[in-house]
A and B are shown apart, each in its own frame.
Chain A
Amino acid sequence: MMTPNQPHRRTEDPLNLRSLPLAEPPRDGWADVEAALLGQARRGRLLRVGGGLLAVAASAVLAFGLLIGNPGSNTAPATSESASALAQTTTEPVPAPLREPPIESLIAMSQQLENRIRAYRSGIGDLPSNVLVYQVELQDLIVQVDEELSATPDSPELWSQRVSLLLDVTRLYENSLRRDYYRMASL
């Protein structure tokens, strides 16, 4: 089968449509295209900064959780090594964040969100067209993050970005469900 990107072979042209001249565009559209690309780059930078901040915040929450989880300890906050040593020596169940480094949690969260989105999709099908635009935009951004992740798979910032984008997608579905519910309730 020919792939969609392959150039096509010549076919019959009984009406000689190929003789028509190329149509001239009414104006040069580069300025609009450039503006859209620059806007996208700016959003990407904001996302990266936001993702970085999210990763820092997540680390701070984990460190705080570590302190709360070990109230008897008067030493400095435990590192992941001391936490795993603690897990081996005590019989008490260790909170999940201590067992896994933050990146593993982010990956797990990302998988859970994907499962949730899949369930929403199979449950309610496609989103309304006015919301679909945002979903497509978010999916595009997720694809971009995935491409960057294929180059640097251990980047917590990128995984944070992925999680926040997936969260946005789930919110679109949840809002759609909520709207449907209210519509039904009003009948």
Chain B
Amino acid sequence: MPQTPFDIQLDDLTFARAKRGNLRACEQIFRAFQQPCFSVAFRICQCRETAQEVTQEAFITAFRKIRQYRGDAPFWGWLRRVVVNHAISTIRRDTRHDTVEYRDFHEPQAPQQEKLGLAMDLEAALGVLNAQDRAVVWLHDVEGYNHKEIAELFGKTESFSKTRLSRARGRLRDLLQPRQSTATGLR
């Protein structure tokens, strides 16, 4: 089972053709990785249009620099790094993303929707977080970045990453607490 949705295998020939500038090979790579790339950009930026722009810019950068990819590590790791770099640059550049809309999801109406409802709560809670806190918690807990790597991405110290992670987790717990209690009470 793949550890991450990015873990998609493509044949070496496709990469070789993309390195020579073959657009059909580039399209093949784009189609394979578009969704996981968009998804990580969306989790960091929390705005669909911005995430779409970030994804496109990241792919353009990746295809322009694909000859720098040496093949000594999985391609998806390299591509994800490009997407994350673009997303972090965007949230650092654009303070608009510090204010995000709060989407109020309905309470689950039936027991089978309970799990789905909890997922929606998570989405909403992530949306409430400060952009940098959200990026740090996502990169650390989901994408598996360590504090040193996150600090490098933001141009800050490891303490910054640790503080943000702790704050983001605390805030998420606070936001999720009442619904989790309710969900437990239903059982």
Contacts and interface: CB of A to CB of B under 8 A. Distances in A.
B160 interface: no
Contacts of A13: 141-142
Contact of A37 (B26, B55, B137, B145): B26
A182 interface: no
Q: Is the interface of A mostly helix, strand, loop or mixed?
A: loop
A29 B143 contact: no
B169 A30 contact: no
Contacts of A29: 30, 34, 52, 55-56, 59
A144 B21 CA distance: 12
Interface string A36-48: 1110110000000
Interface string A66-95: 000000000000000000000000000000
B87 interface: no
A19 B35 contact: no
B123 A20 contact: yes
A24 B138 CA distance: 17
A22 B43 CA distance: 9
Given A15-B173, A17-B142, A140-B64, A25 B119 contact: no
Contacts of A23: 35, 38-39, 42-43, 48, 51
Interface residues of A, number: 41
Contacts of B55: 25, 29
A41 B23 CA distance: 11
Contact of A33 (B3, B63, B73, B123): B63
Interface in B84-141: 119, 122-123, 126, 137-138, 140-141
B149 interface: yes
B79 to A, nearest CB: 9
Given A9-B144, A29-B55, A15 B81 contact: no
A10 interface: yes
Given A22-B36, A22-B39, A23-B42, A5 B78 contact: yes
Given A7-B77, A20-B119, A37-B26, A26 B49 contact: yes
Contacts of B63: 33, 37
A16 B7 CA distance: 19
Contacts of B21: 41
A10 B144 contact: yes
25 contacts: A4-B81, A5-B77, A7-B6, A7-B77, A8-B146, A12-B141, A17-B122, A17-B137, A17-B138, A18-B141, A19-B119, A20-B43, A21-B119, A25-B34, A26-B49, A28-B34, A29-B56, A32-B56, A33-B59, A33-B63, A34-B27, A36-B60, A37-B60, A143-B68, A144-B64
Given A29-B56, A30-B31, A143-B65, 20 more contacts: A2-B149, A11-B144, A13-B142, A15-B122, A15-B137, A15-B169, A20-B126, A22-B39, A23-B39, A23-B51, A25-B48, A25-B55, A26-B49, A29-B30, A29-B55, A33-B26, A33-B56, A37-B60, A37-B63, A38-B23
Interface of B: 3-7, 21, 23, 26-27, 30-31, 34-36, 38-39, 42-43, 48-49, 51-52, 55-56, 59-60, 63-65, 67-69, 72-74, 76-78, 81, 119, 122-123, 126, 137-138, 140-146, 149, 169, 172-173, 176
Closest 3 CB pairs of A and B: A8-B144, A25-B38, A23-B42
